Amino acid sequence: MREAYIVAYGRTAIGKAKNGALTGHHPVDWTAQALSAVLAAIPELVPEDIDDLILGCARHENRCNKNMARLVAMRAGLPYSVPAQTINRFCSSGLQTIATASNAITAGDADIILAGGVEQMSMNLTRADDDDNAWLKENEPGAYIAMGLTAENVAGMYNISRQEQDEFAVLSHRKAAQAQENGYLNKAIVPVDVGGRLFHQDEGIRADTNIAKLAALKPCFKEGGSVTAATSSQASDGASFVLLMSGAVCSRLGVKPLARLTGHVVTGCDPLYMGLGPITAVPKLVNRSCCKLDDFDVIELNEAFASQAIACVRSLGLPEERLNPWGGAIALGHPMGATGCVLTCKALDYLELTGGSRALITMCIGGGMGAAGIVERVL
């Protein structure tokens, strides 16, 4: 059976939405820079040989309109012969592109594919209610529900206190701040030129945050609720890519395989409790892959909200000592279309640093879904 290998990867630093380093700059520009940097890591590759570019984007609006993947391909100077597609599975779009690319290579439909994601939430945080479907609004209340309200629903279902959520958020920032200070986050980050300066450090990490500061914040989604801005993933801008090749092409070009995606599943759940998606996705993946949670050296669970992350940790019995060791989206941010690829890059760096071999990547998905994937380092 053919193998599909990740041979290079990278991401922009993650910027704050609305007032961050990437906010006032066109996403096509900085995404193309990230793509070019990942390609530059494999100088043996002839760009004309790339079979496809697959880019995840959760909100195809404003500056991320049209076929964003094709726009980025042209901006990066790829030959016109390289096709491109933009896909959307909301928060798991970046992981979905890797799975789609891996499947195409394994099936023999392609040999070389760039996969990744982008989001500029600075431009896409609002939408018009007039666009909502009347039947869905009346019959499926979860179809257009604000994600923060789903976090409140999960907190209520699992009796997750405000204190627990605040503590989870503080820990996320603490772990991310320590990783940033130690330089662990730097390896995957591709510096990009924005307005004449290089952007190369994640902006959302608050090393000085504490329980007292978080306790002073008001709930922002529901009166009398428990979910605050600090216990929610940060709205962010960013992009990330991995380059995949078949084993035959790796051998022909003399390129060393770094890792491979050995499993991927998606599942559905009630959209009113969308944060619970990993609770069904992870067991399905683990059972299908004939492995167990103890087999993973690191688990990257996207922190959409502290309440949903806590619920998933409890329900799945995730080992907290291996969970998001370098922090999660509450501290680092959640550029939706890119997040799945960002987590993959982070997991690969962690495995290399620690000598580990296998990572679990999982996230909930807006609309009521869950995704999970297994990435194995090639030793």
Nearby residues of 318 by Cβ (< 8 Å), 6 or more positions away: 293, 299, 301, 312
- Catalytic residue at 334? yes
Three-state secondary-structure class, residue 197: strand
Q: Are 280 and 41 in contact (CB under 8 A)?
A: no
What DSSP element (H or E) covers 371? Answer: strand 369-377
| Nearest by Cα to 38 from 247, 258, 197 | 258
Exposure letters 204-226 (e unless 16+ CB within 10 A, then b): bbbeebeeeebeeeebebbeebb
| Nearest by Cα to 356 from 365, 347, 364 | 347
| Nearest by Cα to 321 from 159, 158, 171, 163 | 171
CA 41 to chain centre: 22
Q: Which two tokens stand for residue 63?
A: 């500056």
For residues 123, 124, 130 and 133, what is the CA-based torsion angle, rounded to 10 degrees?
Answer: 160
For residues 294, 295, 298 and 302, what is the CA-based torsion angle, rounded to 10 degrees?
Answer: -80
| Nearest by Cα to 261 from 1, 2, 5 | 5
Please list the residues that pair with 115 across neighbouring strands: 54, 242
DSSP-assigned letter for residue 351: H
Q: Which two tokens stand for residue 29?
A: 């520009």
| Nearest by Cα to 189 from 375, 1, 374, 12 | 12
Q: Which two tokens stand for residue 368?
A: 């009521």
Query: 25, 173, 264, 334: which is the annotated catalytic residue?
Result: 334
- Catalytic residue at 57? no
Separation of first and last alpha carbons in the chain: 19
Q: Which two tokens stand for residue 268?
A: 């559905």
- Catalytic residue at 364? yes
Geometric angle at alpha carbon 264, from 262 and 266, rounded to 5°: 175
Query: 91, 250, 269, 312: which is the annotated catalytic residue?
Result: 91
Catalytic residues: 91, 334, 364
